[in-house]
Amino acid sequence: MFRILKREMLTPNICKMVVSAPRIAKSALPGQFLIVLAGEKGERIPLTISDYDREAGTVTIVTQLIGASSAAIIAKEEGEFFRDVVGPLGNPSAFVGMSDEQIKGQRYMFIAGGLGTAPVYPQAKWLHDRGVAVDVIIGARTKDLLIYTEELGSACDNLYLCTDDGSVGFHGVGTACLEDLVSKGKEYTQAVAIGPMIMMKFATLTCKRLGIPIDVSLNMLMVDGTGMCGACRVTVAGKTKFACVDGPEFNGYDVDFDEAMRRLGQYRAEEAVEKAKYVK
């Protein structure tokens, strides 16, 4: 059983939880994910690790209310338990396997959107702690929907906030902010985008135009998390891959985003029906 030590609503529909899981925390790395089972008869939910503390033996997850299963997770209170938490699963971010020599002199740009901002944090922190230059763009529709601003502010060299309505920071989307920064002389050797699928598609197109390599996370496609259900199939460089076992991060240039977006929206109507049963 996995005890919930801290619980915080970051927005009206995004919940942050710190969970006691010493064995998972001991081996977790940036980019990996967990499978969370809220109750005995609940659904297996893949959630990207948003932070881990090896000494405290905790992992942090951030959940957005989408359907019945995410509602069951968010409904849990501090002191309660999850039926099971499995992990870490998936491959770590590519830079984790790089040597000190390879990573030296790199300049990273993270483009984060919505819920995707949370899993950017352990990646940016890992690089920043090793002296790698890291900039972060966080985008949201309005300032009240921005999350992890304080955490990422301490885990990067420069933090840029973007809002569609101009309520704070750059007035516009994250890709426009990136173009603006590059036009003013900023240079990056690698970008990483995590957020809504449409955002990652346009981040990839923008980076390709600017000549910046980019990795993207396809964690939102995952269901079973072990490669057995096949729900997270995606075409990468013309080959069928599974986001859970081959990823969740891939070279953005190689991803068929249109196919991925069709798959992501396949059960939206059913999710809405089940969500209505939980959320009154």
List the CATH number of the domain containing 60: 2.40.30.10
Indicate whether 77 and 100 sit together in one domain: no
Per the listing, tokens 């609503």 go with 9
The two tokens of residue 223 are 């269901």
Per the omega criterion (within 30 degrees of 0), is the bond before 88 cis?
yes
CA distance 86 to 28: 11
Residue 78 pLDDT > 90? yes
Indicate whether 167 and 59 sit together in one domain: no
Query: 113: domain range?
Result: 94-217
Residue 273 has what pLDDT? 53
CA distance 83 to 37: 6
Burial of residue 206 (CB within 10 Å: 0-12, 13-18, 19+) is buried
Indicate whether 148 and 205 sit together in one domain: yes
Q: How high does pLDDT run on average in the chain?
A: 90
CA distance 170 to 87: 37
With respect to residue 42, please indicate whether it lies within any of the assigned structural domains: yes
Q: What is the mean pLDDT of residues 95-107?
A: 90
Indicate whether 70 and 157 sit together in one domain: no
In this structure, which amino acid lies at residue 237? A
- Condensed to tens digits (0 to 9), the pLDDT of residues 39-62 reads 887 788 899 999 999 999 999 999
Per the omega criterion (within 30 degrees of 0), is the bond before 92 cis?
no
Contact 99, 89 (CB under 8 A): no
Indicate whether 102 and 201 sit together in one domain: yes
Residue 137 has what pLDDT? 97
- Condensed to tens digits (0 to 9), the pLDDT of residues 194-222 reads 999 999 999 999 999 999 999 999 988 87
Residue 265 has what pLDDT? 61
Q: What is the mean pLDDT of residues 9-28?
A: 94
With respect to residue 234, please indicate whether it lies within any of the assigned structural domains: no
Phi, psi of 246 (to 5 degrees): -95, -20
Could you say which of 55, 89, 123 is where a domain stops? 89
Q: How many domains does the chain have?
A: 2
Residue 223, SS3 per DSSP:
coil
Could you say which of 58, 89, 120 is where a domain stops? 89
Percent of all residues in the chain with a pLDDT value above 90, rounded to a whole number: 71
The two tokens of residue 132 are 């790698």
Indicate whether 78 and 140 sit together in one domain: no
Look up the CATH number of the domain holding residue 165.
3.40.50.80
Residue 87, SS3 per DSSP:
strand
CA distance 159 to 168: 13
With respect to residue 141, please indicate whether it lies within any of the assigned structural domains: yes
Could you say which of 61, 89, 117 is where a domain stops? 89
Residue-wise DSSP of 9-36: EEETTEEEEEEE-HHHHHH--TT-EEEE
Indicate whether 116 and 211 sit together in one domain: yes
Q: What is the mean pLDDT of residues 60-77?
A: 90
Indicate whether 68 and 136 sit together in one domain: no
Q: What is the mean pLDDT of residues 256-278?
A: 67
Indicate whether 145 and 79 sit together in one domain: no
